[in-house]
A and B are shown apart, each in its own frame.
Chain A
Amino acid sequence: MKEKLIFDYTRPGKTGVLCSGPAGSPERHLPADLIRKDYANLPEVSEVETVRHFTRLSQLNYGVDSGFYPLGSCTMKYNPKINEKTASLEGFAGLHPMIPDSLAQGALRLICELQEYLCRITGMQACSLQPAAGASGEFTGLLMMRRWHQVKGTAHKNEIIIPDSAHGTNPASVALTGFRVVEVKSNSQGWVDIEALKQVVNENTAGLMITNPNTLGLFDGNIRQVADIIHAAGGLVHYDGANLNAIMGKCRPFDMGFDIVHMNLHKTFSTPHGGGGPGSGPVTVTKELRDFLPGPIAARSGDSFFMDHDLKHTIGKVTGFHGNFAVMVKAYTYIRMLGSAGLKAASETAVLNANYLLKLLDQHLKRDFPQFCMHEFVLSGRELPNGVHTLDIAKRLLDYGYHAPTIYFPLIVKEAIMIEPTETESLETLDAFASTMVRICEEAAANPELLKQAPVSTPVRRLDEVNAARKPVLCA
């Protein structure tokens, strides 16, 4: 441990930020048995020590601002600083969520316009910004399907089809919403296997959830046919927008036949990932599904804006208030900066960067799919020599000062290495990363121990995860 725990700085009597209490004891207002006896084992540390403690912790971290972060499926693009500034403007940050609409016109306009922008981008007709992240958006979409079938009199439909390449949240959301997961195979091209799909579609099919480009970084050219098959069976189709960064301005989920789309503002729209969150997972839908959205949603009436609570079939609320508003401010800022042409350029460049990097790497690691990739690609470490694994490549990259790519996902590629450079990286960065990867592959052949022992230059080395789970210590 490079930095001791905050609790280890405690000395009784020290206080941090001055904050005065009232005169008189709380017993004036409360019976003693409602008051805590131990006053909690909270730290007693000065402000300067607290600031230094967390500053040192920050220095043990690696963010997008530290360097290249090619974490596939997560779209770790640069987070513009202007976003941070606008989201912390007092008129936004100090705004109470229960304030009357008339006193929040700026916030409501922003929400309403962001809803409209996201509809433009996806081709859909209505939007709710309430879901808190991608998985929350999946949950929302699936509950809308459930309600839709109840309203249509097809409530017996209880199966959701997902490709075998799907992210773990997809099946988990399906289970959380009371549906049964039915998996469909991918074909050798990495697309949904149409024959296999026809086999699993039946009268219980409630819908399908899919990412496109899929988690292999490939655009499924049969997508319209996939949607048609589900629609013909009376189901709905949900677009997991984790990979929307590949297609803005190029094509739209609506035209592909989707009924429901969720996006990740923390991926496509440049809002920072916060060390794990907060994200934001807006949902856009066709006009037929508008009344099923979680409400309220923002709406206009002439020049003024209001929260519309009048959604006949709404699934209810998925988060307490309006969702992660400050994240929306950042995404809105980003979209206003780029404009529609800038969004399209972002997607085109993300795809260009990915294909360029793929070209530099595919002679060195196993590549299963010959097509052009979209904004990311998946290689495999399964043919590495000397018992070297994908994990070892990832750890060795840390020694060279990079964040590792996503590894061991998607599950259908053994020893997967999933690389997403994003559009915000320069040619120099891509070239340097590629030569490092090539060098690591050479090390795997010549000196495999370098990889198996890696990392050696990080604040800690490989950690004992087995024991961590066997004898959990979760609290100081």
Chain B
Amino acid sequence: MAYIPLTASDREQMLRKIGVASVDELFSDIPEDLRLKSFDWLPPSDERETLSILKGLAEANRAAAEAPCFLGAGAYDHYIPAAVDAICSRSEFYTAYTPYQPEVSQGTLQAIFEFQSLICALTGLAVSNASMYDGPSALGEAVLIASSYTKKQKVLYAESLSPVYLAVVRTYLESGSIELIPVKTARDGRVDPSDLSSKLSADTACLVLQNPNFFGVIEDGAALKKILGPTMLVVCADPNSLGLLAPPGSYGASICVGDCQPLGLPMSFGGPYAGYLAVSNDLMRKLPGRIVGRTVDCDGKTGFVLTLQTREQHIKREKATSNICSNQALCALRSTIYICLLGKTGLKNVSCACLDKAHRMAEAACKNKGFSLRYTSPFYKEFVLDCPSNAAKLAEEVFNRFGILAGVPLSRFNPQDSNGLLISVTEKRTGDEIVGLSAALAQVAGGLK
């Protein structure tokens, strides 16, 4: 049998030692009427056959490698340096578990400590945990922190928050008494300041702001924080944008979350990614999940341990700050290596390239008759293109005729929004691909009319 290293005589010897005649005797606590009579529904396959089955399944998809990918909305086709895969393939990293025994887990622990430090540097906040399941669940937990810390039940959120994130936040709030209140998006694509002022009240726990927002627009965080005053600001940010954009801590965010996918994680049909979650110092003991701290061993040597564990489920049980146990450590490691490999200039270069190419794409697309940018505010690597006809149909045609994944039609989230196409442009998109998409849109729109 695959992966079982016992011989028939080993089994005999072991059964004899235990003092039973058959393995079935070991299952004698299972009542007779619960025992399965048969379990035969899938033949085994050897490694070569299995690989060919899986290759067949993989090839039945249209991956980014064969179709230029302008899809975003929370997952992005960024370049991943070869060294990220090389290092993460080291089985000392990927076959270990949570560093419960710090003496033999310093590699994982120090890498997490470095991850936490990098997240603090990017976000401008004081404390980060070791990772969450993904960006959306990190935001769910962030809202719970804000409400529990302020003891207030009203949570404002910018309507320009990703619907993917909003859906998960709603699930996290399902059972509590927190009320989610939307704040309108103004015509320029940013939060409407007057709507924010009018909805702000003494029992507001926080404002949840995505920046850049779901439509790619960069918000004026500082101006919004001014309106908020002492009310907490929770920011959800694409960490890849933070190579260039002002860190949320600098404009008054107390909590910053996001998804590490744009930092060296393959799109993999939606996961695994890693959420990051950083807070200001006063919220440190409200953090969910694992946190690594620096300390010394009994010889005075510096080392790292899991710390502040009295927040966690294995100690506090129903009083824990969260139920999270396993997190997404290996994904966080990938992001750590990604940031280190790119470094200060590299990450800035990637951010600037995204910004630049997105603007080139927008400019080219808007030269086509009937296409225009929906919002006038500054944007980062995504923008909403208003199309002259149904965006979903247009995108489908562009793929069928030109093999380009043109963007995510906003009708996926809001059926009334039939003409909006959310286009995402990473540093990987070439000049030819940008020109190609623009030309394809023009041709298909002309034909569809």
Contacts and interface: CB of A to CB of B under 8 A. Distances in A.
Nearest to A166: B317
Interface string A30-47: 110111111111111101
A356 B168 contact: no
Nearest to B274: A278
A93 B266 contact: yes
B335 to A, nearest CB: 12
B268 A133 contact: no
Given A95-B63, A106-B56, A317-B171, A135 B326 contact: yes
Nearest to B218: A34
A256 B176 CA distance: 32
Interface in B55-111: 55-65, 69, 71, 73-75, 77, 79, 81, 83, 85-87, 89-108, 110-111
Interface stretch (A167-175, A197-205, A229-237, A378-386): A167-175
A275 B61 CA distance: 30
A189 to B, nearest CB: 10
Interface in B9-65: 10-11, 13-15, 17-20, 23, 25-31, 33-36, 39-47, 50-51, 53-65
Nearest to B339: A42
B65 A90 contact: yes
A42 to B, nearest CB: 4
A6 B114 contact: yes
A417 to B, nearest CB: 13
Given A50-B337, A323-B271, A398-B103, A19 B64 contact: no
A153 interface: no
B293 A42 contact: no
Contacts of B126: 475
Contacts of B328: 132, 274, 276-278
Interface string B411-446: 010000000000000010000000000000000000
Interface string A293-328: 010000000000000000000011111111111110
Contacts of B168: 316-320
Contacts of A266: 326
Interface string B334-364: 0001011111111111111101110100000
Contacts, number: 691
B61 A106 contact: yes
B318 A171 contact: yes
B343 A14 contact: yes
Contact of A173 (B41, B102, B301, B323): B323
Contacts of A29: 355-356, 359, 378
B145 to A, nearest CB: 13
A319 B259 CA distance: 12
Contact of A464 (B15, B92, B296): B296
Contact of A94 (B64, B74, B323, B324): B64
Interface stretch (A57-65, A284-292, A435-443): A57-65
A95 B103 contact: no
B106 A61 contact: yes
A267 B150 CA distance: 38
Interface stretch (B181-189, B198-206, B227-235, B244-252): B244-252
Interface size class of B (residues with CB under 8 A): 35 or more
A435 B396 CA distance: 65
B339 to A, nearest CB: 6
Contacts of A173: 323
Given A26-B355, A221-B29, A464-B297, A143 B104 contact: no
A62 B96 contact: yes
Given A60-B106, A62-B96, A63-B93, A39 B175 contact: no
B297 A178 contact: no
B4 A349 contact: yes
Given A92-B269, A104-B61, A172-B318, A19 B349 contact: yes
Nearest to B74: A320
Given A109-B60, A321-B270, A250 B5 contact: no
B112 to A, nearest CB: 8
Contacts of B427: 19
B131 interface: yes
A359 B14 CA distance: 10
A469 interface: yes
Interface in B293-310: 293-299, 301-305, 307-310
Nearest to B132: A132
B142 interface: no
B382 interface: no
Contacts of A64: 91, 95-96
Given A325-B269, A476-B117, A135 B323 contact: yes
Contacts of B242: 36, 40
A274 B5 contact: no
A178 B65 contact: no
B284 interface: yes
Contacts of B74: 97-98, 320-321
Contact of B348 (A39, A177, A352): A39
Contacts of B308: 469, 472
A406 B247 CA distance: 40
B326 A276 contact: yes
Nearest to A371: B29
A187 interface: no
Interface string B250-276: 100000000100000011111111100
A146 to B, nearest CB: 6
A355 B315 contact: no
B253 to A, nearest CB: 13
Contact of A55 (B28, B34, B90): B90
Given A30-B378, A60-B107, A459-B106, A42 B23 contact: no
Contact of A427 (B10, B89, B302, B349): B10
B133 interface: yes
A460 B97 contact: no
A419 interface: no
| Residue of B118, B269, B294, B296 with most partner-chain A CB within 10 A | B269
B96 A275 contact: yes
A250 B30 contact: yes
Given A143-B174, A177-B175, A221-B30, A352 B11 contact: yes
Nearest to B168: A317
A252 B38 CA distance: 11
A245 interface: no
A3 interface: yes
A460 B31 contact: no
A463 B39 contact: no
Contacts of B56: 106
A338 B344 contact: no
Nearest to B60: A106
A34 B245 contact: yes
Interface in A244-285: 247-252, 255-256, 266, 270, 272-280
Interface string A391-425: 00011001000011010010000000000000111
B402 interface: no
Given A172-B317, A277-B327, 6 more contacts: A69-B97, A132-B271, A136-B133, A322-B269, A460-B102, A473-B295
13 contacts: A7-B114, A29-B356, A58-B107, A135-B324, A143-B171, A221-B29, A249-B36, A276-B328, A280-B272, A315-B171, A372-B20, A424-B4, A464-B297
